[in-house]
Chains A and B, each alone.
Chain A
Amino acid sequence: MVRHDSLEELREGRASSGLTSIVFLSIVCRHQTMKTHRVIRIDTASPVPAYRQIANALRALLVSDEFSVGEALPTVRQLGIDLGVHHNTVAEAYRILSDEGWLVLQRHHGAIVQDRSRPSPSREARSSLLQRLRELTAEAQTAGLAPGVIAETMRSVATQLTAPKLRKA
């Protein structure tokens, strides 16, 4: 069997098996989605667990105001079938987003998007972000991306993902 793909795709930023991360998934989601076609993607070969990838991809949509407050997300079984993963994997992703305040999980109504005002950032949040960015940058450089490209990509993603209501806040 010939392995199709991936180093070239990594360099071109089209896919990421080793680099699947918040930034990549966010870019994909932003570019692939509109109000009518909101698409999430996961990579089953990625070292990042599937539940984490699902949570990251959905978070990117939530931050971008792609959902209206009160909207129900697909059931865990439905999203599990669409992505070819076990429903408990999706349930774990929903739990993460619920803990972050994006979703309310109701027994008979599923996962409902809730209004989430931006909390004031704590010192721990900043240091955690710094740590994750360091790791991510190291991964990107290992994959052959130039520092300038990484910085520009991060700036672009940060601008795109900042929802209008959060900018105002």
Chain B
Amino acid sequence: MATMLGLIVLVAVTSHFAPHLSRRDIFFGVTVTPDFRDGPIGRRVSRRYAAKVWFMAFVAAALVVTSPMPFVSASLLLGQTVGAVVAFIEAQRSATSHAIAPTTIREAEIGQRPGLPGGFAAQVGPFLILLVAAAYVAWFWKDVPARFPIHWNLSGRPDNWTTKSVVSISAVFALAFVINGMGLFMSYAVLHWSRLPSVAGVMGQQDRRIRQVNLTATLAMRYLVAILFAWLLIMPTLSNETGQLQLPLAFRVAPFVLVVVGTLVVRVMRRTAAAHGSNVGDSTPDARWVFGKLYINRADPALFVAKRMGLGYTLNLGNPWSWLVMIVFVTGIAIPLLLIP
């Protein structure tokens, strides 16, 4: 129950902060003047949104504490998240009538692009971890148990297992490589096939730093995935209780810690940065965003654009290449999953 309550609070906190991670001139996915957010209307919209988010968290917590019926916890969290999205869309509608036209100025820096965080060695690291794990499993193949867990519930108990075979273990490794490859591709694409909303001045510096935070978080997540998969395949060869192997708390907590730390870093950056310059907006038109979440602009050659929420990037679905990327990603994940018995 404590884990469930913690997750409900986590969803509420991240939903609460989500609108505050964006640039000062983007409010619930709508382009506004930089001081609108702190004005009376902006504050009222923010308060209403926060009240809805915390009301839903309260209802979810009450269900967990009082309900005598067993319920599927993931569905409850999903319902809470969907509710937060609906509250976001309602807030966006309130803000739309105060929208302003974004700047028509576009900036570009002429020069060499910065490299990925940590350079080549750091970016290749997750693949090396997986290769070492694969070599270990191949070397100690006879120690791999006939049945071992591949999925755990929120409390760390295994709830899905697979059997020992070349196909199943290869498929698990393939899944890890595909996820890591996707992370590396996205990092490269963000650097080369997306643009910074601002390049010059203080806003440009801030946008560069936030891009760096995003790329570093992606790299950290890739290491986490690689270590998790390496552990998943090596530990059964070392443990006596392979059938009930518990997932260490660190693996369960790390993704949430990463999200919370990333959220707080971006939040602090946005809060400390004053609004500079007269270039309002993030170089994408409001009309091309669906609910402030999906970006569809055929006239924009960028493959990825910074999310209006302020953390992370999203595909420009108006770019035909984005559909190819999605097909490759989905296929790359689906094939190994189908091969794991």
Q: Which of A80-88, A97-105, A157-165 is near enough to bind chain B?
A: A80-88
Is A124 at the interface (CB under 8 A from chain B)? no
Given contacts A84-B300, A86-B301, contact A15 B108 (CB under 8 A): no
Q: Are B107 and A37 in contact (CB under 8 A)?
A: no
Given contacts A9-B278, A32-B200, A42-B105, contact A4 B33 (CB under 8 A): yes
B113, closest chain A residue (CB): A78
Among the listed A2, A3, A43, which residue makes an inter-chain contact with B105, where contact means beta carbons less than 8 Å apart? A43
Interface size on A, residues (CB 8 A): 36
Among the listed A9, A15, A84, which residue makes an inter-chain contact with B195, where contact means beta carbons less than 8 Å apart? A84
CA distance A138 to B297 in the complex (A): 37
Is B302 at the interface (CB under 8 A from chain A)? yes
| Between-chain CB contacts (< 8 Å), 19 pairs | A2-B100, A3-B101, A4-B101, A9-B278, A36-B111, A37-B109, A37-B200, A38-B111, A39-B108, A41-B106, A42-B105, A78-B192, A81-B194, A81-B195, A81-B301, A82-B107, A82-B109, A82-B195, A84-B300
Is B165 at the interface (CB under 8 A from chain A)? no
Q: Which residues of A contact B196 (CB under 8 A)?
A: 82
Seed contacts A41-B106, A81-B192; 7 additional CB < 8 Å A-B pairs? A1-B99, A14-B278, A77-B301, A78-B192, A83-B195, A84-B283, A84-B301
Q: Are A83 and B110 in contact (CB under 8 A)?
A: no
Is B280 at the interface (CB under 8 A from chain A)? yes
CA distance A85 to B104 in the complex (A): 12
Is B193 at the interface (CB under 8 A from chain A)? yes
Q: Are A37 and B111 in contact (CB under 8 A)?
A: yes
Interface mask (B102-130 → A, CB under 8 Å = 1, otherwise 0): 11111111110000000000000000000
Q: Which residues of B contact A91 (CB under 8 A)?
A: none
Interface of B is mostly: loop
Interface mask (B200-225 → A, CB under 8 Å = 1, otherwise 0): 11001000000000000000000000
Is B269 at the interface (CB under 8 A from chain A)? no
Given contacts A78-B192, A80-B301, A84-B283, contact A40 B99 (CB under 8 A): no
CA distance A36 to B208 in the complex (A): 15
Interface size on B, residues (CB 8 A): 30
CA distance A86 to B108 in the complex (A): 14
Q: Are B101 and A74 in contact (CB under 8 A)?
A: no
**Whole-angstrom distance between the Cβ of A57 and the nearest chain B Cβ:** 9
Q: Are B100 and A4 in contact (CB under 8 A)?
A: yes
Q: Which residues of B contact A83 (CB under 8 A)?
A: 106-108, 195
Q: Which residues of B contact A39 (CB under 8 A)?
A: 107-110, 199-200, 204
Given contacts A39-B199, A43-B104, contact A87 B111 (CB under 8 A): no
Given contacts A15-B278, A84-B195, A84-B283, contact A44 B301 (CB under 8 A): no
Q: Are A44 and B104 in contact (CB under 8 A)?
A: yes
Q: Are A41 and B192 in contact (CB under 8 A)?
A: no
CA distance A42 to B283 in the complex (A): 12
Q: Which residues of A contact B33 (CB under 8 A)?
A: 4
Q: Are A74 and B110 in contact (CB under 8 A)?
A: yes
Q: Are B107 and A40 in contact (CB under 8 A)?
A: yes
**Whole-angstrom distance between the Cβ of A43 and the nearest chain B Cβ:** 5
Given contacts A15-B278, A84-B302, contact A73 B110 (CB under 8 A): yes
Is A5 at the interface (CB under 8 A from chain B)? yes
